[in-house]
Amino acid sequence: MLIDWFTVGAQALNFIILVWLLKRFLYKPILNAIDAREEYTAKVLAEAAKTQQDADAAKTHWQTQNTEIETERNKLLADARTAAEQEKQNLLTQARSAADKLSAQRQTALVAEQQSLQANLTQYARTEVFAIANKALHDLANSSLEAAMFEGFKIQLAKLADSEQQTLAKALKDTQQQALIRSQFPLNETQQQQLRDQINTQLSIATTLQFETQPTASTGIALIAGDQKLAWTIDNYLLNFEQGVQDLLTQKLVSIKDDTVATDHDASAQASKDAS
């Protein structure tokens, strides 16, 4: 078989032209398109990576901010709790202080009222009793009353305790002046001798007595020896009466004070409870 080199050459030329045409008009645009696609894809991926990086950075930023906000929130809550607790304690302290102050004021007022009441009652009692006593003595002043006062003095002398008798005996011995018997009414010789005998016998001493009548003195009889005095007068009744009134007032005021303290304690407790 003979080879037609012209045909072969023409076909080879056609092939080369075809290849050049394909490369020039088909393959190169495809490569350019592929390159462009790859470049675009790389650009998109880079932008996506940058976007992801920005997103991660933003996420980290917001997480940091959230952490800071949470920390600040916890701090504010802690400060608020501390301030509230401090304010609570301040209110409790103020409530207790107010309750204590009120209690002190009430006790001071109670003491003042007690003193005023005691003074008024004592003065009233003295005035009334003296008025009654003076009227009674004025109406009953006679030998029977004087004899009763004399006998009452002897009885009080006989009732002296041993220690009181020793003190009185020592005063009678140590005094540089005569012991004095003072009475509002005069004592007769028999009464004077009875007192000498009773005192010397009861106190186991030998002493002389000076008798003195003092009409302005309180109704009754008094033995005075140095700084010692034994008296049986209307003042004794008044003193006993005054002491009885004082004891009654003390008991009543102690009861009122206890009630006041209990009330103040309840008020203080309620104030503390309200403050809580």
Q: Mean pLDDT in the chain?
A: 77
Residue 15 has pLDDT above 70, yes or no: yes
Residue 246 has pLDDT above 70, yes or no: no
Q: Tell me, what's the pLDDT at 165?
A: 86
Nearest-angstrom CA–CA distance, 55 and 237: 108
In a domain, 52, yes or no: no
Taking 3-state DSSP, the helix, strand and coil percentages for the chain, each rounded to the nearest 5, stand at: 80, 10, 10
In a domain, 23, yes or no: no
Q: Tell me, what's the pLDDT at 125?
A: 67
Domain hosting residue 200, numbered range: 124-251
Name, in order, each residue with C-beta under 8 angstroms of 179's C-beta and a sequence gap of 6 or more.
172, 199, 207, 208, 209, 210, 223, 224, 225
- 45-66 pLDDT tens trace: 888 888 888 888 888 888 888 8
Q: Tell me, what's the pLDDT at 258?
A: 63
**SS3 call for 188:** coil
Instruction: Give the total number of structural domains in the chain.
Output: 1
In a domain, 129, yes or no: yes
Nearest-angstrom CA–CA distance, 92 and 262: 19
Report which of residues 82 and 132 the model is more confident about: 82
Residue 35 has pLDDT above 60, yes or no: yes
In a domain, 234, yes or no: yes
In a domain, 13, yes or no: no
Q: Which amino acid is at 232?
A: W
- 180-231 pLDDT tens trace: 888 878 888 998 899 889 888 888 888 888 888 887 766 678 888 878 888 7
- 66-122 pLDDT tens trace: 888 888 888 888 888 888 888 888 888 888 888 888 888 888 887 777 777 776 776
In a domain, 216, yes or no: yes
- 156-185 pLDDT tens trace: 888 888 888 888 888 888 776 678 888 878
Rounded to 10 deg, the angle between the 189-203 and 143-158 helix axes is: 10
In a domain, 263, yes or no: no
Residue 144 has pLDDT above 60, yes or no: yes
Name, in order, each residue with C-beta under 8 angstroms of 113's C-beta and a sequence gap of 6 or more.
none
Kindly tell me the sign of the dihedral angle through the C-alpha atoms of 10, 14, 15, 17: positive
Query: Would you give the DSSP letter of residue 226?
Result: T
In a domain, 241, yes or no: yes
State how far Cα 132 lies from the chain centre: 48
Q: Tell me, what's the pLDDT at 127?
A: 64
